[in-house]
Amino acid sequence: MKIAILVSRILLGFVFVFFGANGILHFMNPPMPPSDAATFATILTEHKYMTFVALLQVIGGLLLLVGRFVPLGLTILAPILVNILLFHIFLLPQGIVPGLVCSLLEIFLIWAYRLSFRGLFDAAPEVS
């Protein structure tokens, strides 16, 4: 089980560091088919929204790769993955497979680190 957790953590971390760095440095620019998805992505890119998302991807991915503050990294990456899935479900369905794979890795890692998340589900949390 430890090996599966380690491999999942490193794989997910590498994916987000690589594609987050691409969002900042633009070393890979695949063409998008003309559609509403391309228009939406262009607007987000031109207004630097995607640069901020890419920075969060790099931070979350590095936390996973380093192995420190992994629950924080998973928490940063979770809403990004939700948006990746929603983008592909509603705008560009043919590219959903990588998002699904990364989402499965994320869910597996959240389950593996579930003890770190147990405070989120306290019905009456303590106040200091």
Enter the tokens of residue 5.
């957790």
Q: For residue 15, what are the contacts with CB-CB under 8 A and spacing of at least 6?
A: 61, 98, 102
pLDDT for 31 equals 78
- The pLDDT of residue 125 is above 90: no
**Mean pLDDT computed over 54-59:** 98
pLDDT (0 to 100) of residue 64: 98
Residues 28-37: contacts with CB under 8 Å, at least 24 apart: 32/92, 35/91, 35/92, 36/91, 37/87, 37/91, 37/92
**DSSP class of residue 39?**
H
How many whole angstroms separate alpha carbon 117 and alpha carbon 60?
Answer: 16
Supply the DSSP symbol for 29: -
**Domain edges within the chain:** 2-26+33-116
User: How far is Cα 128 from Cα 111, in angstroms, rounded to an integer?
Assistant: 28
Q: How confident is the model over 76-124, as pLDDT tens digits?
A: 999 999 999 999 999 888 889 999 999 999 999 999 999 999 888 888 8
| Burial class for 4, CB neighbours closer than 10 Å (0-12, 13-18, 19+) | exposed
For position 38, what pLDDT does the model report? Answer: 85
pLDDT of 107: 97
Q: What is the pTM of this model?
A: 0.89
CA 50 to each of CA 19, 47, 54: distance values in angstroms, whole numbers, following the listed order: 11, 8, 6
pLDDT tens per residue across span 2-38: 999 999 999 999 999 999 999 999 898 877 777 888 8
